[in-house]
Amino acid sequence: MKVLVTGGAGYLGSHTVLELLAAGHEAVVLDDFSNASPRAMSALGMLANREIAWTEGDIRDAGCLDDVLGGGGFDAVMHFAGLKAVGESVEEPLRYYGTNVAGTACLLERMEAHGVRTLVFSSSATVYRVADTEDPAPLGENAPTGAESPYGRTKLIVEELLRDLCAAKPDWRVSVLRYFNAVGAHPSGVIGEDPTGVPRNLLPCIAQVAVGRRELLEVFGNDYPTRDGTCVRDYLHVVDLARAHIRAVEYLERRPGFAVHNLGTGRGHTVFEAIRAFERASGKTIPYRIVGRRPGDAPVTLADPERAREELGWTAEWDLDRMCADLWRWQSTHPEGFE
């Protein structure tokens, strides 16, 4: 297949581009580089041993989308482009709705116009309504939704848009993948997560402390109803996540319509457990301080990935220690990211 990857120079998109190529597909990247570096494209080309076509552009720009899709031959789109920080979305809801919702609507309109009707959408576990208890049941795809942040609500709104689109136009094929905290890096250490500004996610913050870019880690709350008072998350290796996208787009070849799958391990780790795992991987001590809770954070999010195993034939393979080891390999060899 020939696949357009929006946000393909970013953390998740770049790893998925490599997996697409490894599976024998063709990838074309669209990215505005607002949270990615053009150097990622050179790194991808080196790893893939080929030049990868890419365009700098915004999913809100219909003319740009027409130029890219008008090149013809596309079978599918993998849609990663969007804003993704929970805390930032609380502070800047208009920006998040404008990019994540309006931008996706623009993309879908231009896909329809060019006859490209297969989409794999990057969603999030933040769409779920999470119980405020120490041991909530793992979240299956039929668990109640009720996002607690503007970021999560933008993902949920886009999911509903896609569901309505498939109901109205039966020739559309849509896979919604709900992520549970992707971390790690490519085993080569050549590509990895390179966030602009202060990282909004835990493991990149820990890695930057370990490499000396930041003085210490801020732990947002130690009074949650969990085993050590810190938030519990289901961490997933980015390569496992990328491989799930290949299974998803190939699944859509066999099955039209709308599908939702969780991507996670089904195992949860606290903030303190993640710190200790990274200390084991890096040999570094991670200094931290406890600060107040961060708006929009849930105590526990844990996936039930059984549907993905049954329908996509996908299971996460790599554990938290492997995630931390690969992340440290990337961060220690690229202390300033791609710069």
Q: What is the mean pLDDT of each run of 10 residues along the chain (339 residues)?
A: 97 97 97 93 95 96 97 95 88 96 98 98 91 73 91 96 97 97 96 82 94 94 94 96 98 95 97 98 97 83 95 97 98 90
Token readout for 327 is: 């992340």
Q: What is the pTM of this model?
A: 0.94
d(CA 3, CA 332): 32
Torsion of CA 60, 61, 64, 70, to 10 degrees: 70
Beta strands in 87-244 (DSSP E): 118-124, 173-179, 182-183, 217-220, 232-233, 236-237
Reduced 3-state DSSP string for 255-278: CCEEEEEEECCCCCEEHHHHHHHH
Is residue 186, in this structure, part of any structural domain at all? yes
Residue 110 belongs to domain spanning: 2-333
**In-domain check, residue 10:** yes
pLDDT value at position 131? 66
Has residue 187 been placed in a domain?
yes
Within a domain: 339 = no
The encoded tokens of residue 273 equal: 């457990």
Q: What is the pLDDT of residue 147?
A: 87
Is 151 designated active site? yes
- Determine the pLDDT at residue 296: 65
Is residue 338 included in any domain, yes or no?
no
In a domain, 275, yes or no: yes
pLDDT of residue 301: 85
Q: What are phi and psi of 118, to 5 degrees?
A: -125, 125
Query: Total structural domains in the chain?
Result: 1
Marked catalytic residue, from 11, 96, 128, 151: 151
DSSP type of residue 317: -
pLDDT of residue 234: 96
- Predicted pLDDT at 260: 98
Closest by Cα among 21, 18, 118, 20 to 75: 118
